[in-house]
Amino acid sequence: MNPVVFLSLRDLRCSLLLLVTWVFTPVTTEITSLDTENIDDILNNADVALVNFYADWCRFSQMLHPIFEEASNVIKEEYPNANQVVFARVDCDQHSDIAQRYRISKYPTLKLFRNGMMMKREYRGQRSVKALADYIRQQKSDPIQELHDLAEISTLDRSKRNIIGYFEQKDSDHYRVFERVASILHDDCAFFAAFGAVSKPERYSGDSIIYKPPGHSAPDMVYLGSMTNFDGTYNWIQDKCVPLVREITFENGEELTEEGLPFLILFHMKEDTESLEIFQNEVARQLISEKGTINFLHADCDKFRHPLLHIQKTPADCPVIAIDSFRHMYVFGDFKDVLVPGKLKQFVSDLHSGKLHREFHHGPDPTDTAPGQEVQDVASSPPESSFQKLAPSEYRYTLLRDRDEL
């Protein structure tokens, strides 16, 4: 028989204190440090990974470290499985090759990955434990809303881009590919799915995916490719979800500006959908080859009064087309001229050739003057870029272009 051990009152209090401390001390997690050896393996095996690209000398990075760690602790309690959510970091001074691979241009940069694929939109929200935790919870929520009755389709928000999948069963390769695509593009489209008996009337020849464009007049489009092919499905849905002409807002302005491409912008009143449709059609007709060299955007005249004033326009002048090169702003002629074949394309070509800039400073090019007409330099001061002000702020980031050695 084991002897009975008696503790003094003091020892008993210490033991209880240690027990209470052990029980109530929150679980702390180690932030995963990524390097060239482990980065692909860790990111590829993580459902969701939030990666902090930082530099030790950056004061904003230093301020973020304890917040990032605490947010990781909070999320780890909700998603305890190792690969559900990963909080990781990259020391960009030590691993400049990784920083270059992901085009890091400022510190700290928080990028989201899903199964190894980097999402286009990085985290640009508030740097607080609650905001970061809420962001991850949102990313972990189901991106697809299940339809229990096809009558629900008539209540969809037709101002959005809607993708609907009709499947015989949820446990299928077709749905798993659809689910994976939805997890990546849910910020750009609303995703819905119907199964079994509910979806049967729409499954004429098997499972299918339908795209419903904004508005009630545009016809539905059907995906005709292989539904087990992720790349084919993703590319088709991305083409539908990410329009050629995107809307710029104060919420996405920083992101669009950081892409580094000049803006071709239509300023229009929100209710003026006709001008927007004309602009979209002409961009698709004349400028599809320019995709990747310039961003095609549209903006609400009321919300963006300041850029309009910058080019001596007001909402009463809308619709107005302009280019912001991030150095200067250039105004297209009369909006009606957008329908003149090649006119909009020439406007963009004149930006790339430098002609717009030259003419603002020196007047028309000699080739644009009539024979015998005297060419004179016409001094002018083109309006400075207005949208450059939406770029990442030096009060929030350390911008690498500001460092001489980078």
CA 176 to chain centre: 23
Helix, strand, coil percentages (3-state) for the chain, rounded to 5, are 40, 20, 40
pLDDT at 4: 52
pLDDT greater at residue 357 or residue 92:
92
Task: Express as a percent the part of the chain with pLDDT over 70.
Answer: 86
pLDDT at 396: 87
Is residue 20 over pLDDT 70?
A: no
296 backbone dihedrals φ, ψ, rounded to 5°: -95, 120
Distance set, CA 118 to CA 79, 113, 185 (Å): 21, 4, 12
pLDDT band for position 118 (cuts 50, 70, 90): very high
pLDDT at 360: 65
pLDDT at 25: 43
CA angle 369, 371, 372 (to 5 degrees): 105
Average pLDDT over the chain reads 87
pLDDT at 3: 55
Domains of the chain: 32-140 (3.40.30.10), 144-241 (3.40.30.10), 246-364+381-392 (3.40.30.10)
Is residue 168 over pLDDT 90?
A: yes
Q: Which residue has the tokens 């005249």?
A: 301
Half-sphere exposure of 343 (CA within 13 A, CB side): 13
Mean pLDDT of 233-246: 93
Half-sphere exposure of 252 (CA within 13 A, CB side): 13
Prediction pTM value: 0.75
pLDDT at 364: 62
* Cα–Cα distance, 17 to 66 (Å, whole number): 27
Mean pLDDT of 76-84: 92
Strands 208-212 vs 221-222: parallel, antiparallel or unpaired: antiparallel
Q: H helices of 45-200, where? A: 59-78, 96-101, 129-140, 173-185, 196-199
Mean pLDDT of 352-364: 76
Is residue 158 over pLDDT 60?
A: yes
CA 53 to chain centre: 17
pLDDT at 157: 92
pLDDT band for position 30 (cuts 50, 70, 90): confident
Is residue 189 over pLDDT 80?
A: yes
pLDDT at 371: 55
Length of the chain: 406
pLDDT tens for 119-130 read: 988 999 999 999
pLDDT at 386: 75
CA 170 to chain centre: 29
pLDDT at 368: 53
